[in-house]
Each structure stands twice: as structure tokens, then as C-alpha cells.
Structure 1
Amino acid sequence: MLSQKDEWVVEELVPIREKVYQYLKNEILKGELKTGERLVERELADKLKISRTPIREALLRLESQGFVTTVPRKGVIVSQISLEQVLEVFSILSSLEVLAVQLATERLDEFMTKELDELIEETNRLLAGNEDEEISQFHIRINNFLYKAAKSPRLYEMLSDLVDYIRAFAHIGYEVPGRMREALHEHKDILQAMSERQIDKAMKMTQDHIENSRKAYIRTIDSVKKK
């Protein structure tokens, strides 16, 4: 957590509003700022030792992306997301990620092919070990590669926002026993199909991967409701 004023000095290439936005977003993604928690401009400004203007700008941006919500007589809170909203995001994510994999496979160049091979090798190493935390972070790296390799900046931005949304509000799907490793196996198969330029196969595997993640999320929600 940031604690020194020096860390909030305005940098030429990173405006203070961007730093505040990334900080608050990461706190939501990590669960440090929990669903329903109030975000008070004055308190955040005092905590980060900055003016309220970049705080306000960051909150407006987060609200436009669905991470926070303005509630009458309560103020800004971390969004409370319904099951229907999360499932809608999974549906959108499925369509866009399938498109990304299609484009990425079609547009693989020498540089991306080398990175792809490295990811497959790293996937095999992780599957042979027991580092679940490392696997969790590796999923993020794989997604970033897939979106970047599609070579479509707008698609990259849309997918990154959707994945962050899933990470913030639907990450509990990984709590299903074995799901994290199962998902890594699925990612490995997708990468392998891409390496072999099997576009249709890679697209179908991607669709199945998102569907399996959606089902895992629903199973977790159902188990919580039964307790």
C-alpha cells in the first residue's frame, strides 16, 4: 500500500489522475476495497496526501466501467454486482475473446510465435508444480498475450476491462476444487492450437474455456447460497 508522499508526485509520463485510478482499481481487484464499501473523496485525498480533484476523476472513470456506483444519500461505493450482470459479462467476454484468439492466430509473427512457445513451456512447468498463486498470476499473463497478439488496440482495451471486471467480482470461480489447474490446461490447449495454426480449434477451445469458467462461478455461488 502506498504510504509515502513521494510516490504521488506528478510524473511527466504518468499523470496523477492515472496513478490514482490504477491504485483504486487495484485495491478493488485485490479485494482490499470490498463490495459495498464507501469511497469518500475527502478521506482518500487525506490518505494519499493529494487534492480531491484526481480522486473525483478516478472515481468517475471507475463508475463508467462499473467498478463503483453512486448511491443516493450514501455516496460512492464499490459496486454490488448481481449474478445476472456477471453472467452477461461472461457472455460478452466469450464473444470478444474468441475473436481475439482468431485474430491472434491469423496475425502471429515471428516475435509473437517465440513468446507463444515460451508460454507453452512455462505452462508445462507450472502444471508440474504446486504453486497455485503463481498459476493465478500466469493466467493474467496468458490473457494479456492473447489480447496483445490480436493487434487490435480497441479490442485489447475492451477485453482488458472485462477481465478486470471478472477478477473483481467473479474470481471466486477459481475456488472450485481443481478449477485453477483445469483452466491452465485449457489455456495450454488453446496456445498449442494457435501454435499449430488451427484457428477453428483454438476458437472452439476458447469458447469452451469461458463457458467452463462461467459454470465454475455459478457452482460457487450455489454452494454459498446453500450454506
Structure 2
Amino acid sequence: MEEFLTLKDHVYNYIAEQISGGSLVPGEKINENSISERMNISRTPVREALIQLASEGLLENSPRKGFVIKHLSEEEAKEIYFIIGVMDGLAVSLACLFLTEQAVKDMEFYAASMDLAIETGNFVMYHKLQEEFHNVYLTLCPNKSLVNLLQQLKKKFLRRTYVAEPQVDMKEILFATNEEHREMIRLAKEKDTQGLERYLRDVHWNPNKAYMETL
């Protein structure tokens, strides 16, 4: 059964995709009228979507400027990585006992597909695939409240394009991250719940890697 999307949901998804793809960048003001005209809808659902995005920390609502894409500082990113590491580690440890052979195969498929996306420089596709990778075990986690909180927190890292910086080899960084995905698969196959929890908390979501979210 398909989930029914309201006008507000459509606007929310549209703006989220613009941020994710880099069409809207930190510091940029959201033009409510432009979105209303482009989507041929009233300003009410646009305003509702902007309020939701602001409540999730993706936008700032300034009395003078209106809604602006929020800039994420490296310190904020580190704090969020620390929290996600604890929550994601717990979630995967709870899901571990429910991981079927097919679920593990799905994770292996996504890891292989991520290698291809990285090699071709398709970073947007990489992030879609890594979300699917993590969703394999998150959908099997019995604590749905934990999963919902985790997914909400991850929205703060919505942007999926990177500013080219000569000193940063993004392919090398993402290949290394994907090797972490493979280590997670190895631990999952062994049903090492404690090892998985520690690995996600201390390695995969190590706060020292949070700088990637601010590039």
C-alpha cells in the first residue's frame, strides 16, 4: 500500500532534493513565492514544509531573512556523529539476531554497488545506496522508536554533493568507508552483536570523520 503524500509532503521532498543535490546551499534564502509558482500550489503547504524542515534543523527561520539553508559547523557535525554512533550501534546490535541470509546478501549487493558509484564519481547514487545498506538492518530492528529517532537525526546530513577541494580525495574517503560496510557484514555474519555495536559507535561514526559533512 502506497503512502499518501500531502501537498506539504511533496514540497518537503522537493526542497530536500534541492538541498541534497546541491541546488540549494548553506546560507541561501528559500524563495517561497518561487516554489509556489513552480509547483502551482498555494503558499500554505510551502510554509508548512519550511516549518518542518526548520524543526528538523535543516533550515533557520530568521525574522529578517526568512527561511535560510542552515550551515552545519564541524563541531555540530561531531556532536551528531557521536549520538548517531551510539544509536546506530544499538540498533544494529538489536537487529543482528534477525538478519537473514537474504538480508546479508542484500548488504553485500549494496556494498558492491557503492564501489561502482564511487568509481564513476556518482556520489549522490553512493549515498542512496548507503542509505539502503543501513536500512537493511534498521528495518529489522525491533525497537522502532529508536530507528525513528536515528533517521530523524541523520536528516541533518541531507546534503549529498561536495565542494571540490584539491586536498580532499573524496573517492579515497568513500572507498575506505565502504570497506567499513564490509567489516559490518563480516561481523553480522558472525552474529557478533557486541562487536557490531562497538564498530559502528567507535569506527563507522567516529566523530573525527564528521568533517566530511561540512565539505
Q: Same fold (TM over 0.5)?
A: yes
Larger Rg: 1
Structure 1 residues 175, 49: CA separation in 2 closer, same or farther (over 3 Å shift)? farther
- Determine if the alignment matches structure 1 residue 192 to structure 2 residue 186: yes
Q: After superposition, where does 1:2-151 map in structure 2 within 5 Å? A: 13-108=4-99, 110=100, 113-124=101-112, 127=115, 130-133=119-122, 134-151=125-142
- Structure 2 unaligned regions, length at least 5: none
Query: Which residue of structure 2 aligns with residue 163 of structure 1?
Result: 154
Structure 1 residues 48, 121: CA separation in 2 closer, same or farther (over 3 Å shift)? closer
- 2:61 alignment partner, SS class: strand
CA distance in 2, matches of 1:216, 1:34: 21
CA distance in 1, matches of 2:193, 2:144: 21
More relative contact order in 1 or in 2 (CA 8 Å, sep 6+)?
A: 2
Structure 1 residues 220, 107: CA separation in 2 closer, same or farther (over 3 Å shift)? closer
Query: Which residue of structure 1 aligns with residue 208 of structure 2?
Result: 215
Letter in 1 for 2:90: L
CA distance in 1, matches of 2:129, 2:115: 11
Query: Which residue of structure 1 aligns with residue 200 of structure 2?
Result: 206
Query: Which residue of structure 2 aligns with residue 6 of structure 1?
Result: none
CA distance in 1, matches of 2:130, 2:199: 15
- Give the share of equivalent positions with the same residue, in percent: 22
Query: Which residue of structure 2 aligns with residue 178 of structure 1?
Result: 172
1:121 is displaced (CA, Å) by 4.5
| Cα RMSD after superposing both structures | 2.9
Letter in 2 for 1:120: E
1:205 is displaced (CA, Å) by 1.7
Q: TM-score of the superposition, structure 2-length normalised?
A: 0.83
- Structure 1 unaligned regions, length at least 5: 1-10
Segment drifting more, 52-61 vs 135-144: 135-144
Q: TM-score of the superposition, structure 1-length normalised?
A: 0.79
1:86 is displaced (CA, Å) by 1.4
- 1:149 alignment partner, SS class: coil
Letter in 2 for 1:210: W
| Conserved 8 A contact 2:110-2:133 | no
| Conserved 8 A contact 1:103-1:150 | yes
- 2:27 alignment partner, SS class: coil
1:153 is displaced (CA, Å) by 2.5
1:175 is displaced (CA, Å) by 4.9
1:125 is displaced (CA, Å) by 6.3
CA distance in 2, matches of 1:115, 1:70: 41
